[in-house]
Structure 1
Amino acid sequence: MKVNFYTSQREYNEKKAEFDKAIFDVIEKGSFILGPNVTKFEEEIKNYTGAKHAIGVASGTDALVIASHILGFTDGKEVITSPFTFLASTSCIAKHNAKPVFVDIDEETFEINTSKLEEKITSNTAGIIPIHLFSQMNNMDKIMEIASKNDLRVLEDAAEAFGMRWKGNGDSYKHSGTIGDFGIFSFFPTKTLGAYGDGGMIVTNNDDLAQKTKMFRVHGASKKYHYDYIGYNSRLDSIQAAVLSVKLKYIDEAIKKRETIANWYMDKLSDCEYVRFPKIKGDQKPVYYVFNILAEKRDELADFLKENEIGYSIYYPIPLHLQKCFSYLGHKKGDFPVSEKISSEILALPIYPEITEEEVDFVCETIKKFYRK
């Protein structure tokens, strides 16, 4: 049996008529950039997340770069983040000549270790970029408390966290991205809410930040050909917005199915002593965008899955402090031991709403077969 790590075809075939109509309506109307479909989708995101403002941009990476620029993560300022993440979470700092300052992760959740945040704050620290990875959010109570006490800006990298909500010590659940000064989402096709191409969104509850963001995404223009800033050309296109509006109607159903699939994995692998699962911490509503395990002999297991036509991914094989592009920061192996340890053990298994229990059974049996060899 072949099990893809991800496929878009099943969802498309299930809702083909809706997707086709949404796409061809855009083509027939001829409004392709920042048209009514984008405005409609931005309103839908505001309604779903509770954010006061939602501004569509070309990708999650662009969202990080633009938000970092607006928050002043520039010109030698220090910004605290995690080394265990995708490049864009840190390249957005370096792009503006700011300095990434890494804090190691919690071994059980893979989120930034908030107990170590304050020791990295200096008089030059401008902000914090917490990254809500894989299935859960960071401890936003602690992060916002530290940020408030030290007058720091917070940019939530919620690229993988659409649908996740944090309550913590609060009175109600707050959607990822809506707690800090800015939050960003990625609509890369594999995401929980994924487009048929690239797309991103910046959310904020601050009127001034929202207005500035709207200008920054169109070259810094306050109106056509009137430029207040040196901005960017980064706009969510109308076809992607139309596709995402269709998908957003079914997002709660998709999130629930992901939870069911995650529970299948945990139940079926519970008797495998060579596999461990991350833990969810804090009062929050997780979303299983990715299903990770920590596996003994990870690389050999990955090869065995490949031999048996099972897709997988490794998020992330090399922490950012050991990547060549960040060698100028002067870090060495051993500086962030938890990130380095997890990067040698972590393995992501196939999870998307349309995967079948039979396929999950096959994945789990193949993993157990490997360890019985």
Structure 2
Amino acid sequence: MGLLYNPIINWLIALVLLFYGPVLIIVLIYKVLGFTGYMSLFRYVGGNSFIYRLDPRTKILLAIILTIVAAMTIWWVSAIFLAGVLFLYAFLKDPAAKMRVAGPLILSTFIGTAWSESLFAPFNYLYSIFGHHVTFIYLLPSVLSSLGVTQGNSSASVLLVGKAASPVGLTWEGLIYGLQISFRATASIASGLLLIFSASPSDILRSLEKSKLPIELGFTLLLAASSIPKVLESSMIVINALKARGVDVVPRGSRNPIVLLRRLGSSFKVVVLSLTAIIILTLKNAREIAIAADLRGFRANRQRTYYHELRLTRMDVLTIVILLLIFALGIYLSGLPGMGAVPYNP
């Protein structure tokens, strides 16, 4: 324990926890998904199950109601929602591939929320909801309390150390609380991905227009989502072109600090040049989309017609009724003692 709380090592651990936490989440998603996984996230593949036959407006309503009810009620209600939505993934085409994409996003939400709450959840709040007992996992330099890191009042328990006066650091209860509230975000993420996986972009655009959303706003949202695969594809083209020319995209390590700094500088130049090329390719693609929209008379007439019209079926009506019952039940549960949302909203 003396080694861990050596001032130099203690500060290094603190800096890693504060600054490397968000980076760890991004690296986790990239390592598991990669460019191909990100691109498949926004590419629609049709299917024949009832999920695909539901109107996109019904699935949008599903995401909205689950998000609202999850925000109003206790955490385990959101856990039930998450399990139910993940069960619906079994009716998608190639559900294993869909879970390989959704799984890292959901897992990163759990990790990010638990990490942030274990560091920054207010001590008084944790003290009140966890039975007047808060245990610190690891102590950080006390000066970090000015950045919002959890600081105990008077004395508190510290693992392997015992009691400490006004400790600052990671708390076990904050970690548990972060895992609990992350179910709310993951239920919303899973239901949103269900919409993307089971509805084509054109159907989503039509459903937004039928929901009285301005066509320009709906088109902008849809274009932003559909442009992500294009940007990733451009990134792959640029990176592969650099590798084919023998450019070290990732700098190799070296024991000589001068050589290492030179390699890092070269990599920085490569990154800047790559971003320039990616931006140019993205602007070219945007220009092509604008020309295609003009050729199709976009915004020429406010009352647009479509070859395939969206209509609510009996299955949609039944699903909407069930969703409204869930919404009403969520409002009722939120008013019961101990069933409502906690007052602290990180």
TM-score normalised according to structure 2 size? 0.23
- Quick check: which one's helix share is greater? 2
Larger RCO: Structure 1 or Structure 2 (Cα < 8 Å, ≥ 6 residues apart)? 2
TM-score normalised according to structure 1 size? 0.22
For the pair shown, the structure with the greater C-alpha radius of gyration is 2
